[in-house]
Structure 1
């Protein structure tokens, strides 16, 4: 997919990205996605000598990269770093869900109160039937 900007010609070179300077570009990707401890350590050592290690790690953390060695950290190590962030996100979701449920509960209660008031207004026939109102209509209906 090419990037097209209506204000710039299409023949401009792509601006450099941090990946263009990554040392791992010349390595086999399998090294960074291995489950073998020796491969993981070898991948980390490649990362430690990389000029864009920080950018690589930041990108992996932002993307919640699910596998591999990025920025000299394995997935498990990144999970430890992200644990407080993930916990805070989970707490925020739970708080938002509780607030939404409370708002729905209050809306239902308000609807029930409004329905009761509307029903009371419909049944309130005191002006036509005297001071007994709905109770008088009910008593008259039952007596008949």
Structure 2
């Protein structure tokens, strides 16, 4: 298991009872077919998530290919080298 995923798991276990995790309340919002309105809504509630940085780090390290992780829609778009010229 990679270090970022372990860190995320520890962060989730370390939060107290009754703490709101947006992805647990509405799992379909994060992993279903994501329309523009859905992405905006998900990004708006990510600020309430106590494990947002760990979630994003684990998604990047794990090579996630779909969904919203830590406030970022995957797959992430990588700027092309042509755009830099």
> What TM-score comes out, normalization by structure 2 length?
0.62
**Deviation at residue 35 of structure 1 after TM alignment:** 1.8
**Deviation at residue 51 of structure 1 after TM alignment:** 1.7
CA RMSD of superposed structures (Å): 2.5
Q: Which has the larger radius of gyration?
A: 1
What stretches of structure 1 move > 6 A for 4+ residues in a row? Answer: none
CA offsets per residue over residues 15-53 of structure 1, 9 Å max, x none? x72234462244221101232111111111221221211
Which fold has the larger relative contact order, with Cα–Cα distance below 8 Å and residues 6 or more apart in sequence?
Answer: 2
SS of equivalent residue, structure 2 residue 45: helix
Instruction: Say which structure is richer in strand.
Output: 2
Equivalenced residue count is: 66
Instruction: Say which structure is richer in helix.
Output: 1
> What TM-score comes out, normalization by structure 1 length?
0.39
Contact 1:47 1:70 in 2 (8 A): no
Contact 2:67 2:73 in 1 (8 A): yes
Q: Which runs of 5+ in 1 are unaligned?
A: 1-15, 84-144
Contact 1:23 1:46 in 2 (8 A): no
